Every structure is written in structure tokens, then in C-alpha cells.
């Protein structure tokens, strides 16, 4: 795994993250408990610039335990490091997105191997409609430049993601439903290094504003007056990460109008696009927004 490469460890070395999800990396429930319990590593690897620490433990079995508070407001590792009994055997450097991809791969592999589930209740594989993928690819081709840093929200099992892959993009793809994402990973349709489970409203804890050139979300919703406050927060949180362009597709014009209006009030120019096809249900309306300030 990428974590082995970053830490310069052997493939056979056992590596575990203390936390079990990205949202746990924000709240740090296990990390705080471990540090208060008086953990006794025999040696450690420090990741420079406060990224994290890998502790080597020999009991009850030999493995490396990775702790990071980089994504949390609670910074607790810096004070703990001088208390480590064992020596810092090495200090390593890594880049921000390399570290993210390594953690994403770890969680993706754990998810697809059902390490976080008692059993899998999904009996059939995900649905990938080729007509929808081709149609979306054709729609996106003149809109999304090549070689951009791109974030996709609400990716599901990755059907629409296939259109991005066909355009030569390698998006970071986010989904709140872990079962949906798991099915996409199991089917080989999602990149484990760039796919992750997250509530879109918390994306600002992982990425700085303007971290991506483009942010997209396909068939987000269904949006109505009852859940609009939630979707408003999702759209604004995700769009805040876009430096240049935000694009969302929905089923109805009413949903598109709601999205366009909220973006227009938040420093974006937003255009509603009629993308209907006879008998279609996917991506019938789109909102294309360009940042003004």
C-alpha cells in the first residue's frame, strides 16, 4: 500500500490506522483514548510538518499504528511525541495529496474487504448504464478541461464517474453511503486511492478552499423544500473547494433553479442548462457555475 511506501516499510509489515473513517480523523475518538491510556511504543516514525506519527508496538502482536491529527482541530500529537519511550527511528517527508491518497487507499481496501461490517447485505452488483455514461461524457467534453484537479461529490457506486475517466480525468470521488462506495470499489469502477466516504458538509476539514479546479456532482438530490437546507449546505461547502468551476446535474428544472440561485448569491455566475432527452431520467438539467471572486 501507499502507506508502506510513505513510511518506507516492508510490504509484509502490518499497518493500522487508529481511526476507522475520515470523520473519525476529524473527531479523533480513538486517538484521544489511546494517548490517555499510556500507549508504550518501542519505536516511532515521525512524519514531518505535523502530519502524524507511526508507532511500533510489539504487544499483543507486532504492528505499526498510525496516528494523525492533521485533519482535526484538536492537535494532540505534538505534546505526546516527547513522551515516547522508544527512539524516533526515522523522520520522513510526504506531500499533502500523497498522504491523503495513502489514507484513502487504506480506508478503501478496508471497506471493500468488509473489515468495518459484520456482513454485506448487498446481494447484487451496482448498475452501470452505458447510454448514460456516454451521454454524460459528451455533455462534459466541452466543459471540463483536461488535466484539471477535480472533485466529484455524491459519486454513489461510480456510474457517472466512468464518464470522467473516459475524458481522461482522475477525480477524487466522495460518497456518504459507504455501501454504495464499497460496491463501486468491489466492482473495480472506483479508484481506491481517490475514493472516500464523507459527509460533503465536512469536506472543508480535509481540503482548503480552492483546492480543486473543478467540483462536480451528478444527479444530486432529490431536492425539495423539506431537505433544501441540507442540500444548500452541501452545494456551498463543495463549491467552496472549487477554484474555477462547479457543475451539478439534477432531474428537474426546479432543483436546478434552487442550486443556481444559491450559487449566484455566493460569488458565482450560474447558468441553468436544459439537457433533457426523450424518456430520460439522468442528468436532465444542469447548473454550470463559474467563480466571480
Q: What span, in angstroms and rounded, lies between the C-alpha atoms of 73 and 241?
A: 19
Of 44, 74, 94, the residue at which a domain comes to its end is 94
**Using 50, 70 and 90 to split pLDDT, how confident is the model at 85?**
low
**Which helix (H) or strand (E) segment is 22 a member of?**
helix 22-27
- Ordered strands of the 212-217 beta sheet: 195-197, 172-175, 150-153, 212-217, 242-250, 285-291, 268-274
163 and 252 both lie in a single domain: yes
Q: What span, in angstroms and rounded, lies between the C-alpha atoms of 191 and 174?
A: 11
- pLDDT, one tens digit per residue, over 14-48 is 999 999 999 999 999 999 898 888 777 888 898 98
Average pLDDT, the chain: 93
181 and 267 both lie in a single domain: yes
Whether 86 shows a pLDDT value over 70: the answer reads no
85 and 230 both lie in a single domain: no
**12 is a domain residue:** yes
Per the structure, the complete domain to which residue 56 belongs is given by: 2-94
150 and 235 both lie in a single domain: yes
13 and 88 both lie in a single domain: yes
- Is 218 in contact with 160 (CB distance < 8 Å)? yes
**DSSP 8-class letter at 82:** G
14 and 157 both lie in a single domain: no
**101 is a domain residue:** no
Output the domain CATH number for residue 254. Answer: 3.40.50.150
**Which helix (H) or strand (E) segment is 67 a member of?**
strand 63-67
Q: What span, in angstroms and rounded, lies between the C-alpha atoms of 50 and 87?
A: 17
134 and 226 both lie in a single domain: yes
**102 is a domain residue:** no
Per the structure, how many domains does the chain have? 2
**26 is a domain residue:** yes
Q: HSE of 88 in the Cβ direction (CA atoms, 13 Å)? A: 13
- pLDDT, one tens digit per residue, over 179-222 is 999 999 999 999 999 999 999 999 999 999 999 999 999 999 89
209 and 146 both lie in a single domain: yes
Of 195, 213, 214, 200, whose CA–CA distance to 101 is shortest?
Answer: 195
Whether 2 shows a pLDDT value over 60: the answer reads yes
Q: What span, in angstroms and rounded, lies between the C-alpha atoms of 209 and 198?
A: 17
284 and 145 both lie in a single domain: yes
25 and 71 both lie in a single domain: yes
147 and 53 both lie in a single domain: no
Q: What is the pTM of this model?
A: 0.94
**117 is a domain residue:** no
- For residues 231-258, average pLDDT: 98
**77 is a domain residue:** yes
144 and 197 both lie in a single domain: yes
Of 71, 94, 117, the residue at which a domain comes to its end is 94
Amino acid at each position: 500500500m501507499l502507506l508502506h511506501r510513505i513510511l518506507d516499510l516492508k510490504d509484509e509489515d502490518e499497518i493500522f490506522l487508529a481511526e476507522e473513517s475520515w470523520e473519525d480523523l476529524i473527531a479523533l475518538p480513538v486517538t484521544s483514548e489511546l494517548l490517555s491510556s499510556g500507549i508504550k511504543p518501542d519505536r516511532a516514525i515521525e512524519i514531518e510538518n505535523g502530519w502524524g506519527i507511526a508507532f511500533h508496538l510489539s504487544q499483543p502482536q507486532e504492528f505499526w499504528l498510525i496516528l494523525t491529527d492533521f485533519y482535526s482541530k484538536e492537535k494532540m500529537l505534538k505534546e505526546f511525541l516527547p513522551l515516547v519511550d522508544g527512539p524516533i527511528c526515522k523522520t520522513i517527508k510526504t506531500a499533502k495529496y500523497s498522504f491523503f491518497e495513502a489514507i484513502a487507499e487504506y480506508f478503501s481496501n478496508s471497506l471493500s474487504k468488509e473489515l468495518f461490517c459484520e456482513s454485506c447485505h448487498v446481494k447484487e452488483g451496482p448498475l452501470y448504464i452505458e447510454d448514460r455514461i456516454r451521454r454524460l461524457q459528451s455533455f462534459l467534453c466541452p466543459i471540463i478541461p483536461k488535466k484539471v484537479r477535480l472533485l466529484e461529490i455524491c459519486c454513489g457506486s461510480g456510474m457517472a464517474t466512468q464518464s470522467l475517466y473516459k475524458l481522461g480525468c482522475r477525480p477524487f470521488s466522495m460518497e456518504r453511503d459507504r455501501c454504495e462506495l464499497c460496491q463501486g470499489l468491489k466492482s473495480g469502477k472506483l479508484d481506491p486511492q481517490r475514493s472516500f466516504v464523507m459527509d460533503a458538509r465536512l469536506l472543508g476539514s480535509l481540503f482548503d478552499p480552492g483546492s480543486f479546479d473543478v467540483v462536480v456532482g451528478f444527479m444530486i438530490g432529490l431536492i425539495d423544500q423539506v431537505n433544501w437546507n441540507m442540500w444548500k449546505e452541501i452545494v456551498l461547502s463543495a463549491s467552496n473547494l472549487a477554484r474555477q468551476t462547479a457543475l451539478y446535474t439534477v432531474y428537474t428544472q426546479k432543483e436546478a433553479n434552487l442550486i443556481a440561485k444559491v450559487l449566484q448569491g455566493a460569488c458565482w455566475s450560474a447558468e441553468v442548462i436544459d439537457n433533457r432527452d426523450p424518456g430520460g431520467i439522468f442528468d436532465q438539467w444542469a447548473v454550470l457555475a463559474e467563480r466571480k471572486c
